[in-house]
Amino acid sequence: MPHNCSYFMQSNIDGPVSVSDHLAALGAFGTAFSVFGIVSTLMVTAIFVLSIFHVVKKSTPQWRRLLTWIVSMPMIVSILSLITFIVPGAAILCETVKQSYLPFVLMHFIDLSLLMEGGHRDTIQDLTNKDIPINFCRPPWCCIGLCYKNITYNKYKHGLVYQTPLFQLVINLIMAILESAGVLERVIRNVAFAVLGVTNIIFFTIGMYGYNVLTTGFAQLSEWKNYPLKARVLFLCVVLLKVQTLILLLLGVGGSIPCIEPYISPVVMRKSIEAALCLVEALIFAVIFFPVFRVVDNGVDRLNAPTAPTTPISAVSSENLQV
């Protein structure tokens, strides 16, 4: 049901008010989620610190940076969402950082997958020796007929994932700059937003497609315990955050996002609702990430352990790590 927010349409006001007016207008909802957000963010940060303790203690030095990027995702999302909810004026910057950060997590997961196998060259060699084909029949692009099986892997396939962080960063920065300058408004009727938004979605779906293609192949090769579960959990978390943003945007276009005249416009309310949802989701992600990515499993220990020359799984060589 569309909400009547004619005050903001007539006044052409979409910007945020002060922090005190914003929280006062939200009332009990604002107070409750401010307290919940602070507590949950502290909890998520504590879980992250505990995860890093295990990363430093159990993993090899070459893996630590990449693992830190991955397990930090819930904490980063929680902090940015808390700032957005309490300080609506920071929403543009926080949203830009969050949307640009998520693809980097996926890229680093692929980097870590390759590193655990000894690098690009060893991974290609292992896939070839074990006759493991790459299945291109993976979501989301398989839904429109892009479905090829038994394709030979080469070093250029991971470029599908690696392009996403760069293009997402550039597009999100352009959108943030134009929005701050008053040129762009995050509504469908705005031509600049529509063009950049569609372009952003295309590059993101290409990245997710590449991620699914690669992790499906690596799952048959990786010695990292529960590798398919790790890849799937990370995929679902990133997709949920991205799709949630799109759904709320479409609801806003349809006039389904309420407002609180004269303090909170539908645009600010949409960002506050999304921030509140992300605070809950970040806590759930942190609880899930801790056991899933905790570095105590036999797969990691086995890869870390020195092995005899005749053992099929050998330690990662310094030559391959430089690939």
Does the residue 59 lie in any domain?
yes
pLDDT in tens, 212-261: 888 887 887 777 788 889 999 999 999 999 899 889 888 877 778 887 87
pLDDT in tens, 118-140: 777 777 777 777 766 666 666 66
Omega of the bond leading into 139 within 30 degrees of 0 (cis): no
Has residue 288 got a pLDDT over 70? yes
Output the six-digit token pair for 251.
């609801």
Does the residue 310 lie in any domain?
no
Does the residue 110 lie in any domain?
yes
């970040």: which residue's tokens? 282
Instruction: State residue 233's pLDDT score.
Output: 93
What number of residues does the chain have?
A: 323
Has residue 279 got a pLDDT over 80? yes
Provide the 10 A C-beta neighbour count for residue 146: 12
Give Cβ neighbours of residue 234 (< 8 Å, ≥ 6 apart). 70, 73, 105, 106, 109
Has residue 79 got a pLDDT over 90? yes
Give Cβ neighbours of residue 58 (< 8 Å, ≥ 6 apart). 295, 296, 300, 301, 304
Does the residue 319 lie in any domain?
no
Does the residue 312 lie in any domain?
no
Q: Angle formed by the axes of helices 91-116 and 266-293, to 10°?
A: 20
Domain range for 38? 14-304
CATH at 137: 1.20.1070
Instruction: State residue 307's pLDDT score.
Output: 41
Does the residue 258 lie in any domain?
yes
- How many separate domains does the chain show? 1
Beta bridge partners of residue 151, listed in sequence order: 134
- This prediction's pTM: 0.80
Least confident range from 17-26, 33-42, 184-193: namely 184-193
Does the residue 88 lie in any domain?
yes
Does the residue 179 lie in any domain?
yes
Output the six-digit token pair for 280.
């809950």
